[in-house]
Amino acid sequence: MIPIKPHAYAELPQEFYNLQNWQGFNNPMLVIENTQLKEELGLENIEQQKLLSIFNGSLSIKNLKPLSMAYSGHQFGQYVEQLGDGRGLLLGEIESSKGLVDIHLKGAGKTPYSRFGDGRAVLRSVIREYLCGEAMHALSIPTSRALMIIGSDEMVLREKSETAAMLARTAKTHVRFGNFEYFHYNNKPEYVKVLADFCINNYPAYFSRTKNIYEEFFRSVVKQTAIMIAQWQASGFNHGVMNTDNMSILGETFDYGPYGFMEDYLPAYVCNHSDHQGRYAFKNQPYIGLWNCSALGHALSSLLSEEAQGEILQTYEEIFQSTLAKLFRKKLCLEQDQSEDATLIQGLLDIMESEKLDYTNTFRNLTQALTNEITPELDSDIAKSWIVSFQERQTKEVTPEDKKVISMNQVNPKFILRNYMAQEAIDAAEDSDFSKLETLIAVLTNPFEELEEHQKFANKSPAWAQDLEISCSS
Ligand code: AMP
Ligand code: MG
């Protein structure tokens, strides 16, 4: 028995989606399977080949109602009327020990929402999505995760000709801010309500049914978004395409495109080479998160007064700031709340910026600063004086030093996904060698371990990778 069942979304009125089948590949090939996730979903008894056949559409599950979703959204600040799953498909859902989980296929062929696209995804981009989902998950950042990549011998044209591939991914939801915008801007307030009710009923862990349920709905989305973005900021993650159609209403990171983990600390970092204005620069993410929430609030205006929207949007800043402060305190092992802490944290960020220090490694090596005057990164005069303040501040902490080291190493990763690492795995995979991909997964799923045999992945990017350009094309 295959436990994938029709998605509850398929019960919504017909305007919400298009029911359809999808196009598998003629010569599908397994690129990678996520055995860990498979187990978490209780799918471990389904053989790899069988799962591949299901996702490729060659083995059908009875009564399934695969569908592509209708949505719109704001892209780079402009409203775009017709988006939708142009190459994606909600296959169904699985009841797992963690609750209901969506199963979605990306790159499954054309849909009514494909516009000028071919409905396909390329191997390069699905590998990037797979890797990042696992990396984020291991850092405890809410994210969609991939279950399998299916490769093919089909060629599609991007900036150059590339092989097509399909990604089977899981997420708690595929409802985006843009699903609400679609009905709001199409003058269908009754469907905005239907969709809000759907979310409130289907995701009870997120949405309270007390008081004004729509206010509580919006409040929760704003909260989850603020928390998610604080987590991005603390880990140096730059999403790259924070359009409202890429924002999950449950605050899960998803629709990975030209993302990047910042290497040298640079608030103005822009991972997406198509983003010429830097709208989605690292330092703008908190503000864009709020901007996106206000776009959602506007789309909910048939359910929420302007006052209520305003009041709820005002909660964003506090939730964001307090979550980020908490995360930074953990990174520096500051358990007691002291008035000088914010200055101490900012002082470190300023040094990282002016001295172009690697964000991840500077934090990771801070454990050495507990006792030494310098760490590999913090060796300038100004950095040394910062270390003295840090050590002084640490005297107010009661935790024994060995415990401090352990707890800092549990929040400051040794390994992050640097773009060059993904690129090397992609280059090999394009030559049908998937071993580098498997190795990377082993590293990224254990980012806090020392992993002696994988030291090189903790190094800064090599010179050849400094100019790696990652754009929207995928
Ligand atoms: P994304 O940049 O992946 O978030 O996609 C933005 C919009 O473009 C979504 O509506 C996608 O479904 C659509 N899209 C992206 N790539 C393709 C493609 N190759 N074929 C059809 N639609 C696409
Ligand atoms: Mg998208």
Closest protein CA for atom 16 of ligand 1: 117
Question: Would the CB of 112 count as within 6 Å of ligand 1?
Answer: no
Query: Which tens digit of pLDDT belongs to each residue from 319-366?
Result: 999 999 999 999 999 999 999 999 999 999 999 999 999 999 999 999
CA–CA distance, 410 with 240 (Å, rounded to integer) = 27
The mean pLDDT value for 286-312 works out to: 98
Distance 111 CA to ligand 1 centre (A): 11
Question: Which pTM does this prediction carry?
Answer: 0.97
Give residue 469's pLDDT.
Answer: 80
Above pLDDT 90, what percent of the chain?
94
Distance 123 CA to ligand 1 centre (A): 15
Q: CA-based angle 128:131:134, to the nearest 5?
A: 145
Distance 270 CA to ligand 2 centre (A): 18
| Ligand 1 atom with least separation from CA of 84 | 10
Phi, psi of 126 (to 5 degrees): -75, -30
Distances (CA, A) of 352 to 81, 186, 265, 323: 42, 47, 6, 21
Verify whether residue 85 is a known catalytic residue: no
Of 103-107, 148-152, 232-236, 459-463, the least confident: 459-463
Work out the burial of residue 339: count CB atoms within 10 Å of its CB; fewer than 13 is exposed, 13-18 middle, 19 or more buried.
exposed
Helices (H) and strands (E) in the chain, counts: 15, 13
Question: Would the CB of 102 count as within 6 Å of ligand 1?
Answer: no
Closest CA to 118 of 158, 82, 167, 149: 158
